[in-house]
Every structure is written in structure tokens, then in C-alpha cells.
Amino acid sequence: MNSVFSDSATTIFESMSRLAAANDAVNLGQGFPDDPGPEEVRRKAAENVLGGWNQYAPMMGLSELRRAAAVHYERFQGLDLDWEKEVMVTSGATEALAGALMAILEPGDEVVLFQPMYDAYLPLVRRAGGIPRFVTLRSPGWRLNEEDLKRAFGPKTRAVLFNDPLNPAGTAFPREDLELLGRYVLKYNAIAICDEVWEHTVFDGPRHIPLMALPGLRDRCVKIGSAGKIFSLTGWKVGLVCAAPELMKVLSKAHQYLTFCTPPNLQSAVAYGLGLGDTYYEGLKDSLRASHDRFAKGLTGAGYKVLPSQATYFLSVDLGPAGDDAGFCARMVKEARVAAIPVSAFYSENPQRGIVRFCFAKKDATLDEALRRLSAWKY
Ligand code: PMP
Ligand code: GLN
């Protein structure tokens, strides 16, 4: 069996969700919201299942959705995309990531990865034959710095896999950092695979800037989005890929052999959702901000040191330099009956220990119950 997978443990998200269920815990581990998602979008999907097309969709995605994505990214991010040549639909961002790595890498190519990193990145890079080169970000800012980039990039660098806004930190990189990374991508003639699934969740600070929008980077980026995050429908697995035509030609070859297409009923509902007015998109941010602030305030009141975050569904607490985040989470789920994710699980080497990620995209009552349990618990 292939050692990348035979040597892999079950992902932290799945194992924590199982522990949460077994202990009847409030599950603030795996990132999914309590919010059921916009009703009109779900209604469209239901109508499409009953009365619409339920056979294979076109390989590149429904033209309705590809067009809607191009219009959407123009409206929110100022991108000028040719929907026919530069937009593709995949079965979730995860497929898009796997496909991009397969399409871009030759065995032995180096890929720059930023720790903490989403857990799928490393096995997918390795399985595609890539050699990881790590850059380690540090709390509380989780910012890029040039010395680290200098060490990680080299003549064999083929790609960089960059997640902004950043899961698990919940931070968004400032433009200055994007410019720095962009300079290295250009200098080494690399391709940036930009995981921007959290693009619509920036609840504090300036709007998300796609790396692709920076001068010179238009043709060197693969931008990846996820309807699951845009509409709080994480089970839908509809991914959006944007890239220049030359890149897209090869990306689409990987997609055609991986899944070929994505459920048309969901695609059509997502197309509708991308056209929703600003009220929806502002509402998403407002509700994330309110939940973040409520939970951060409660945790601070219970004596935890909450790290700043401005995007995603997540905030982190810092247990201090001697903190054991994995041990803390293991005990908390059993004793306090609250599940969270140890951030050291997002590192391959030299993890920063003592940081614990909580998902706050929950109803007030869920957050309050978690806070009540945590206040009554002594670690
Ligand atoms: N990338 C990141 C950084 C994520 O947080 C997630 C899901 N939470 C994904 C990719 C996967 O997205 P999808 O569910 O669309 O496959
Ligand atoms: N992205 C989600 C998180 O970070 C989990 C996705 C998954 O369960 N694989 O919590």
C-alpha cells in the first residue's frame, strides 16, 4: 500500500468529532457552522433535485455557475476572469487542491508550505511526488518574513501552497505580506496554489485580496474557493477554481480524471447564491463577528488568553509556552465535554505547542453552553 496513506493517522477533525459524539460534548472542533445556510439557496437546490437535471454535468462545470463565479469575483475582488477559459467547478476545494498538485508537480519538485497548514496539504503534496519545504509562522501575528522565504525557495521550487485567510489561525495576511510572497513566486518562476476558501469570512479588517490580483501574478496563481464556506454549507463540496488559460488547460485534465464533474443541482443553487445581494454577504460577516466577540469575551472571562483573529470560523487560545495543546484537548473533551482542535496537529515539524483552536460559528446557546462547561472546569 502507498505509505503516504498507510502511514497516515485518521484526521484530527474526524477523530475529534468522534470523541465529541462519544462524550456528548459541545463540538467546537471540526469547522462547521450551526447556521443552516441561506434558505433560498437550499430551496434552489431542492427544486433542482426534484425538477432539474440530475445527470452528469459538463466537465468544466455548468456555464451558469462559471459565469456567476466570474461576475462574483469581479464584484468582490476586482478580478477580470474569462469564465469560459479561466473558471472551473470541482467537487470541493479539496479536489481542486489535489488536482492542482497533480497537474503542476513532477516528482522531485519542491513545494513551499506554510505551517500551521491545513491537514490535507502535506499528504497531497507527497502523493503527487512533491518535496515539502516548510516555512513556519508564529503566533500571535502568523506573518510572513523574508528570511524564511529566502530559506524555503530555491531552484527546484515549482509551487507554493498558500492559505489566506489562514486556517487554523483565523488571520488574514496584509497586502504587504502578499507582495513579499508574490516577489518570491515571480523570482523563482513558481506557481502559487492559493487556497482562499475563507475569502468571504473576513469579519474584521479590509476585504480579502486574492494573490492573483497583485501585479504580475495573474498568470501564476491557481485561486481556489469553496461554496461550502461562502454559504455555510460545508457538506456541499462545490469548489471554484480560477486560473489563466494555460494553467487551466492542465488543471482541467486532472479534474476530468479525478471526479469529472460535480452535482449539477448544487452547482445551479451555488450560481444563484453567488448573485445574492450585499445584505447576504454583509450578514455573514456580521454574524461571524458577533459570534467571535461573544465567545472571545466569554473565554477571556474564564481566564483564557484569546489570540486575535479576523476571519474564518475559528479563534485560538494560547495556553502558554509550557502548554500541551493535544493533552489539553484530550482532557477537555472528556472532562469538560467541549471539543476543540490542538493546533500542533497542523504542523509537520517543530510545532508551536500550546495553541488550541475553537470553532465559534455556532448559535449563541451552543457557545454559552460551552463557556458554562469551560468555566466550571479546571485544567
Ligand atoms: N482548505 C481549507 C483551508 C479548509 O479549511 C477547508 C475546509 N474546511 C478546505 C480546504 C476544504 O474545502 P472543501 O470542503 O470545499 O473541500
Ligand atoms: N476545514 C474544516 C476544519 O478546519 C474541517 C474539514 C474536514 O473535516 N476535513 O475544521
As a whole number, the mean pLDDT across the chain is 97
Q: Does residue 125 share a domain with residue 181?
A: yes
Quote the number of domains for the chain.
Answer: 2
Instruction: Read off the pLDDT band of 234 (50, 70, 90).
Output: very high
Q: Is the CB of 177 under 6 A from ligand 1?
A: no
Would you say residue 379 has pLDDT above 90?
no
Which protein residue's CA is at the shortest distance from atom 4 of ligand 2?
Answer: 31
Q: Does residue 177 share a domain with residue 49?
A: yes
Strands 131-136 and 110-115: parallel
Share of the chain above pLDDT 70, in %: 100
Strands 157-163 and 191-195: parallel
Q: Does residue 301 share a domain with residue 360?
A: yes
The percent of the chain in helix, strand and coil, each rounded to the nearest 5, is 45, 15, 40
Q: Which ligand is nearest to the CA of 12?
A: 2
Q: Which atom of ligand 1 is nearest to the CA of 239?
A: 15
Q: Is the CB of 225 under 6 A from ligand 1?
A: no
Helix, strand or coil, per DSSP, at residue 239: strand
Q: Does residue 246 share a domain with residue 301?
A: no
Cα-to-centroid distance, 373 and ligand 1 (Å): 29
Question: What is the per-residue pLDDT across 239-281, written as a single tens digit (0 to 9) for each?
Answer: 999 999 999 999 999 999 999 999 999 999 999 999 999 999 9
Domain boundary at 274, 296, 331, which?
274
Domain boundary at 259, 274, 289, which?
274
Share of the chain above pLDDT 90, in %: 98
State the CATH number of the domain containing residue 357.
Answer: 3.90.1150.10
Q: Does residue 43 share a domain with residue 33?
A: no
Q: Does residue 337 share a domain with residue 194?
A: no
Expressed as residue numbers, the domain containing 172 is 39-274
Torsion of CA 17, 20, 22, 24, to 10 degrees: -140
The mean pLDDT value for 124-153 works out to 97
The mean pLDDT value for 341-351 works out to 95
Q: Which atom of ligand 1 is nearest to the CA of 312?
A: 5
167 CB burial (10 A radius; 0-12, 13-18, 19+): buried
Q: Does residue 308 share a domain with residue 236?
A: no
Question: What is the per-residue pLDDT across 93-125, written as a single tens digit (0 to 9) for each?
Answer: 999 999 999 999 999 999 999 999 999 999 999
Q: Does residue 145 share a domain with residue 123?
A: yes
Q: Does residue 83 share a domain with residue 30?
A: no
Domain boundary at 224, 239, 274, which?
274
DSSP-derived secondary structure letter, 38 = -
Q: Is the CB of 144 under 6 A from ligand 1?
A: no
pLDDT of residue 33: 97
pLDDT of residue 186: 98
Question: What is the per-residue pLDDT across 178-209, written as a single tens digit (0 to 9) for each?
Answer: 999 999 999 999 999 999 999 999 999 999 99
pLDDT of residue 106: 98
Question: What is the per-residue pLDDT across 286-302, written as a single tens digit (0 to 9) for each?
Answer: 999 999 999 999 999 99
The answer to whether residues 349 and 36 touch, using CB atoms and an 8 Å cutoff, is no
Q: Does residue 210 share a domain with residue 313?
A: no
pLDDT of residue 27: 98
Q: Which ligand is nearest to the CA of 11?
A: 2
pLDDT of residue 322: 84
Instruction: Read off the pLDDT band of 321 (50, 70, 90).
Output: confident
Q: Which ligand is nearest to the CA of 117?
A: 1
Which protein residue's CA is at the shortest distance from atom 7 of ligand 2?
Answer: 13
State the CATH number of the domain containing residue 151.
Answer: 3.40.640.10
pLDDT of residue 127: 98
Place of cell 494553467: 247
Strands in the chain per DSSP E: 26-27, 87-90, 110-115, 131-136, 157-163, 191-195, 221-226, 239-243, 305-306, 314-318, 338-339, 341-342, 355-359
Q: Which ligand is nearest to the CA of 31?
A: 2
Cα-to-centroid distance, 85 and ligand 2 (Å): 30
Would you say residue 92 has pLDDT above 90?
yes
Which protein residue's CA is at the shortest distance from atom 8 of ligand 1?
Answer: 31
Place of cell 433535485: 49
Q: Does residue 147 share a domain with residue 285?
A: no
For the beta sheet containing 305-306, the strands, ordered from the edge strand earlier in sequence to the opposite edge, are 305-306, 314-318, 355-359, 341-342
Q: Does residue 53 share a domain with residue 26?
A: no
Cα-to-centroid distance, 289 and ligand 2 (Å): 20
Cα-to-centroid distance, 214 and ligand 1 (Å): 23
